[in-house]
Amino acid sequence: MKRAFSLLAALAAAVATALPAAAQEGTLKKIKDSGSITIGHRDASVPFSYYDDKQQPVGYAMDLCHRIVDAVKANLKMPKIDVKYQLVTSANRIPLMANGTIDLECGSTTNNLERQKQVWFTITHFVTANRFVTKRSSKIGKLADLKGKTIVSTAGTTNIKQITEINAQQNLGMSIISANGHPEAFQMVETGRAVAFVMDDILLYSLVAQSRRPKDYTISAEALSVEPYGIMLRKDDAAFKKVVDAAMTKIYKSGQIRAIYDKWFLKPIPPKNINLNVPMSDQFKKVVANPTDSGDPAAYK
């Protein structure tokens, strides 16, 4: 009996010793050991994450991620963390997160229940909707008008998956082209290779605003889905997520989010000084008041 108690005591001591180490495992330990954090970013997801005229990654999501880095510094008691940048695409962002290449993915990535099987997300930082852009001259107004037409969406996105499913369910007979990036997809509509580009409405607004003739285009009033955006993290890393979620919640509750949002959506932004003029939506105001990382679209209605 005494020997059994001794074994239990030894086991308890071992567990107690291991707990502080376990709390430092995962991304926080990786950052602590390497002295650096790697941010995955996009090249053309205006205004979330894109290159400015100096080929530096900037944007709304990038500003949020830099504040998260400050919170990580404070948590690890590190006065300096080297921030490294890794360009990602819609197709490779999840694999690069899962394999440890990037630690935060700061862009325009939809948080949904399917993706949560592979990665985690922090507090939602924008709520958009899946719509499509067409030329006004095409006189296409609703989804049914796309029947039998050629449309485009970006590879690796929820948008192309959803429009493919809708095409089959509603027997629309659309020919769906996959583009490597948002600018390439928009160019296909611009040049007549596709009649519509299906994508998150905020990205469509930014592409139209940057085009040669913005008045030539129209974005559908019909929304195909609700899309909450989240900064992506590695799955099952509760210690890191706790730090990141706390940082995002502080940004919201302190009111800092208003200035950050206005900077990118209500003022001229680099490099072309376009103003998207997109006020904060009622759905996102609800998130600011009650932060959530839900991947269920119903949570945002």
Mean pLDDT, residues 217-246 = 96
Share of the chain above pLDDT 70, in %: 92
At residue 237's C-alpha, the angle toward residues 47 and 79, to 5°, is 70
Domains of the chain by range and CATH? 7-125+230-300 (3.40.190.10), 129-226 (3.40.190.10)
pLDDT number for residue 10: 44
Closest CA to 291 of 238, 239, 240, 254: 254
Tens-digit pLDDT profile for residues 130-148: 999 999 999 999 999 999 9
pLDDT number for residue 25: 67
Structure token pair of residue 215? 């008045």
| 8 A C-beta contact, residue 234 and residue 228 | no
Tens-digit pLDDT profile for residues 202-223: 999 999 999 999 999 999 999 9
End-to-end Cα, the chain, rounded Å:
60
Q: What pTM value is reported for the model? A: 0.84
- pLDDT of residue 5 exceeding 90, the answer is no
Sign of CA dihedral 109, 283, 278, 176: positive
Whether cis (ω within 30° of 0) applies to the bond prior to 95 is no
pLDDT number for residue 194: 98
- pLDDT of residue 8 exceeding 70, the answer is no
- pLDDT of residue 189 exceeding 80, the answer is yes
Least confident of 10-24, 230-244, 267-281: 10-24
